[in-house]
Amino acid sequence: MGQFEGKVALVTGAARGIGQAAALKLAREGADLAVCDLDKDWLAETAGIISDSGRRVETYSVNVSDSKSVQEGIADIERDFARIDVLVNNAGITNDNLLVRMTEDEWDRVIDVNLKGTFLITKAVSRIMMKQRSGAIVNIASIIGLIGNAGQCNYSASKAGVIAFTKSCAKELAARNIRANAVAPGFIKTKMTDDLPEEVQKKMLDGIPLKRFGTPEDVAEVVAFLAGDAAGYVSGQVLTVCGGMVT
C-alpha cells in the first residue's frame, strides 16, 4: 500500500516537467490527484498516465497569478474531492534579462506567477487544510533563490521570496498540524532549460559536481519525501536537489 493511499494531492503547473513528474510520483504512491495548469487540455498526458495507474485524477484550468481563477479552481477541487492533503506549488516561469534592460513587465510577470501565485494558492488551500487539521505543503523554489544569477534578478527574487514565504507558513500553520517545506532544484532537464543555448548548458554542466543535469524525477522523489510521513517532523526547511552545486 502506497504512503499516500486515501490522500488527495494538488499539483500546479502539472502539464509537464517537474510538476508532471511530482504528480505521477504521488499517484504511484497512492494519492488521488487534482492537477492544474493554465489550460486543462494540456493536462491530458498527465491525467492519462495517472488514471491508467488506477488513481482518481481531475484536471483544472487555473492561472495561479489570478486570484479569481485560483478561488474558482480551489472551490471546484474542494467540491470534487472534499479535502486536500498535499499541495505542491510548482507553477513557475522565467523571463530573463539583465537588470539594466529588465522592463517592469518582465519583473511583474515573474513575481506574479512564482511568488504571488504561491501565495494565492497556499492561502486558498490552507483554509481547507486548517479545517482538516492536517496537511503538507511543498513549494518548488530554486537554488537561484539562494545564490542569485546574473540575468535573473526577477526570478531569483521570486524564489528567495518563496523560500521566506515557506518559512513563515511553516511557523504560522504548525499549530494546525500543517507542514511547509521548499525544494530548491538546480539545473533540471525540462522545457524551461531546453530553451537555453547549448554553450550555456555546457558551461552549467561543468559547474555540477555530480556531472549530470537533474531529471524531473530526481525532484519528484524529494517532493514525495517532504510531503510524506517520513518527513513528519520536518517543516520550514529548504532541500536542494542540485547535484552538489550548492552546499
Active site residues: 155
**Does residue number 95 form part of the binding site for ligand NAP (CB under 6 A)?**
no
Q: How many CB atoms lie within 10 A of CB 106?
A: 17
With CB under 6 A as the contact rule, the residue among 181, 187, 224, 227 that binds ligand NAP is 187
Q: Indicate the residue among 102 and 192 with the shorter CB distance to ligand NAP.
A: 192
Total residues in contact with ligand NAP, by rule CB under 6 A: 28
Of the residues 73, 92, 135, 228, which one makes contact with ligand NAP according to CB under 6 A: 92
124 contacts ligand NAP (rule: CB under 6 A): no
Contact call for residue 46 and ligand NAP (CB under 6 A):
no
Of residues 18 and 129, the one with the C-beta less far from ligand NAP: 18
Rounded to the nearest whole angstrom, what is the least distance from the CB of residue 189 to ligand NAP in the complex?
7
Residues 213-242, one symbol each (x = binds ligand NAP by CB under 6 A, - = not), give: ------------------------------
Site for ligand NAP in 135-154 (CB under 6 A): 140, 142
> Which residues of this protein are in contact with ligand NAP, per CB under 6 A?
12-13, 15-19, 37-38, 62-65, 90-93, 113, 117, 140, 142, 185, 187-188, 190-193
